[in-house]
Amino acid sequence: MWHDSELEDLFLKAPFIFVMEGETSWVNNCFENPTRDIGEFDSFSEHSDEGNKEVNAISVDLILPDDLLERILACLPIASIFRAGCVCKRWHEIVSSRRFLWNFSPVLPQKPWYFMFTSSDEPVGYAFDPILRKWFGIDLPYIQKSNWFIASSCGLVSFMDNDSRSELYVCNPITKRCMKLQEPPGLKVYDYSALAIYVNRISHGYTISIVKSKLCPGNFFQSDLSIHIYDSETRMWVTSCTEVMTGWRGGDESVICGGVLYFLIYSAGGGATETRHGLIRYNLSNRSSHGLLIRSFIKVPCPLTCGRLMNLNEKLVMVGGIGKQDRPDIIKGIGIWVLNGKDWQEIARMPHKFFQGFGEFDEVFASSGTNNHIYIQSYGAPALLVFDINQKQWKWSQKCPVSKRFPLQLFTGFCFEPRLDMAP
């Protein structure tokens, strides 16, 4: 069986194969605009030395028909497929064709990428590919600020502005295909919102949810909460739930998993609560607008400094900062739990050496994941830690090609599946 590196060496050098040991660089040509500068996606970790090397040339175009070449290219990592589109006109036509995008890509499972914002004011950054273990500079379409609300599922990413919260987009960050959705219904002015997206892997249809929360004037112990659902098939929004909560408010963390919307709620005071967080479970197929909090409240497993929700193979997983018993706002570690029914099962806890490896770690941090991979990063540094659930393995990513330039510089990010066949 061919390994990824062997396939890349064999098929990505030129229309004639030049087999050169040590060559690892690649460039990407956007499918929708093949005339753009192909150097835009250059790898920031490329190193090569082509001097004094023996070159063997083989004509790929003469020995491989299109259908076989399609299948070979589809076995490459996503980054290498992009590079293939820059080799020659024939290869560009193959990897950019609808037939290839829908029928052949990708053949091999692709691990989720992580996009890290490296600026607090601009939506610029780099994406980490865990297969090639490289960072790539890519542009995100339409997004204007790094603090926008972002959610992803099965190759699609949804993002909403953090000011008016009326601009909402769905895009494929790899192919740059993007669509603007109509403004969500409900309150025009609200205090908190949580965005989630779920893509059906068979039909490619998607559902978007927004949970809005506004503190009641004159009584900050109560809040108005509403849930709004968008269906890509009908292209319409539905307000499926409105409720007044006492002692709790909504927040900015939610995920759709197995037809159920989960979102974290936060203590608003006014009563005795053991922790500052709770979880709401809302069934999207059996919508109800009454008694949401009483019937579907789930306790968190321990006092948390923050919680991050994610869908990993249709299982709800939470990454949380574990607070000290006497000082719940001070983080002492990071745990990972999976929800079984209403019970949490701890599946991992970050080893202390990795926790210390971040340096100064605030009680609130960024974390997202999909499939079997979870990414964790501090807002105060570009260090990125990866946890593989199947192998129970913690590993640092390759060093991000950016360094902290000033003390208050912040970093954040999100993960997404790199797919060519998904379009909004």
**What's the pLDDT tens digit per position in 348-406?**
999 999 999 988 788 999 999 999 999 999 999 999 999 999 999 999 999 999 888 88
Same domain, 172 and 295: yes
- The domain total for the chain is 2
The model's confidence at residue 345, banded by pLDDT at 50, 70 and 90, is very high
Do 419 and 390 form a contact (C-beta atoms < 8 A)?
no
Are 167 and 79 in a shared domain? no
117 and 152 in a single domain? The answer is yes
39-55 per-position pLDDT tens digit: 333 333 333 344 444 55
Any domain includes 424: no
Q: How confident is the model at residue 414 (pLDDT cuts 50, 70, 90)?
A: very high
Question: Is the same domain home to 273 and 124?
Answer: yes
Question: Is 157 in contact with 141 (CB distance < 8 Å)?
Answer: no
Give me the residue label for tokens 């719940």.
Answer: 328
Q: What pLDDT score does 412 carry?
A: 94
| In a shared domain, residues 208 and 286 | yes
Q: Which residue has the higher pLDDT, 188 or 132?
A: 132
Residue 414 half-sphere exposure toward CB, CA atoms < 13 A = 24
* Domain shared by 87 and 193, yes or no: no
What φ, ψ does residue 82 adopt, rounded to 5°? -60, -40
Kind and range of the H or E element at 84?
A: helix 78-84
Query: Is 120 a domain residue?
Result: yes
Distance CA 336, CA 264 (A): 15
Q: How many CB atoms lie within 10 A of CB 136?
A: 23
Beta-carbon neighbour count of residue 129 at 10 Å?
Answer: 22
Assess whether pLDDT exceeds 70 at residue 271.
Answer: no
Helix runs in 225-360, H state only: 292-296, 352-357
Cα 217 versus chain centre, distance:
35
Residue 108 domain flag: no
235 lies in the same domain as 125: yes
Residue 423 lies in a domain: no
Mean pLDDT of 217-231: 89
Q: Which residue has the tokens 């919680």?
A: 307
Number of Cβ within a 10 Å radius of residue 154: 19
Confidence of residue 156 (pLDDT cuts 50, 70, 90): very high
Same-domain status, 187 and 286: yes
Identify the domain containing residue 24 by its residue range: 4-103
CA 73 – CA 95 distance, rounded (Å):
8
pLDDT of residue 250: 92
- pLDDT of 110 higher than 70: yes
Q: Please report the pLDDT score of residue 393 as a whole number.
A: 95
Per-residue pLDDT at 18: 31
Strand, coil or helix: what is 234? coil
284 and 339 inside one domain:
yes
Whether 186 shows a pLDDT value over 90: the answer reads no
**Model pLDDT, residue 6:** 46
Instruction: Give the contacts of 367 (CB within 8 A, at least 6 positions apart).
Output: 308, 310, 319, 374, 375, 376, 377
Same domain, 82 and 29: yes
Give me the amino acid identity at 393. Q
- Segment 278-297 shows an average pLDDT of 75
